[in-house]
Amino acid sequence: MEETIQPQMGLTFERVWAAIQRIAEQTAEQHKELAEQHKELTEQHKELTEQHKETERAVKELAEQHKETERFLKENGAETDRRMKETDRRMKELQKSMGKLGNRFGELVEHLVSPNLIEKFKALGYAFSRTNTRVKYEDVNTGEIIAEVDVLLENGDSALVVEIKADPSIEDVKDHVKRMKTLRDYADAHNDKRYYLGAIAGGIVRDSVKDYALKNGFYALEQSGDTMSVAATPELWKPKRW
């Protein structure tokens, strides 16, 4: 007797065909994604190839420049060395001249500015008893100069730190703010309980610089003839104390 094979329940041609279609769609989608990735990789490879060529060109150019430099130095080394020595000599002369100019400016500060400041600030209610010029503050541990002051007016209660420039700028005012903070720290470290005041002085003090100085609590000193005068301050303005 022959055995009869019964078909699997629920398995129809339509379901098999639908499953095949889903697999085909998934395969097509995966193929599309792979094609896009392949395209991106191809573009990246192309870019890297161009970059590599550009790098090779740059390296070749540098090599040629290096050869040219070596050739030039070989042919002109003695002349170049002579010119460098001449440049060094001129730089030293310039530095020496600048040093002399700085000393002369310091003398100008001492003889034209500082003698009148005590009287100028006495009229504002300050009783400064002594004046020092070109004062340097050193770190006691390292000996390093941490601050330099053009003119320093002092008494037992307060000190006025004056920074002098021919034509002070806003950056000069900012630097003076830093200087005042440094001096305050120095005073605290040396048990100096006095309060410190600041001032900016110049042969020419532009309005923008004057306003910025006042905004930061500094007096502004302007040239008046052969002396310095304290610029007028706004009503209710008070100098900053460090």
**Can you give the CATH number for the domain in which 129 is found?**
3.40.1350.10
Q: Give the pLDDT of residue 147.
A: 94
Asked whether the whole model's pTM tops 0.75, one would answer no
221 in a domain, yes or no?
yes
Output the CA–CA distances (angstroms, integers) from residue 232 to 109, 221, 228, in the order listed. Answer: 22, 9, 13
Distance between CA atoms of residues 121 and 103, nearest Å: 26
pLDDT in tens, 199-232: 999 878 899 999 999 999 999 998 777 677 898 8
The C-alpha atoms of residue 202 and residue 113 are separated, in whole angstroms, by 10
At residue 97, the pLDDT reads: 57
Does the residue 177 lie in any domain? yes
Distances in Å between the Cα of 134 and the Cα atoms of 28, 156, 163, 221 are 86, 20, 10, 18
For residue 36, tell me if it sits in a domain: no
Based on the structure, what is the number of domains in the chain?
A: 1
Q: Does residue 1 belong to any structural domain of this protein?
A: no
- Percentage of residues in the chain having pLDDT higher than 90: 35
Residue at 187 is within a domain: yes
Mean pLDDT confidence for 177-189: 96
Question: Which tens digits make up the pLDDT trace of 99-117?
Answer: 555 455 555 555 556 667 8
Domain limits at 129? Answer: 112-230
Q: Is residue 63 part of a domain?
A: no
Residue 169 included in any domain: yes
Q: Is the confidence at residue 5, as pLDDT, over 60? A: no
Asked if the structure places residue 119 within a domain, the reply is yes
Percentage of the chain beyond pLDDT 70 is 85
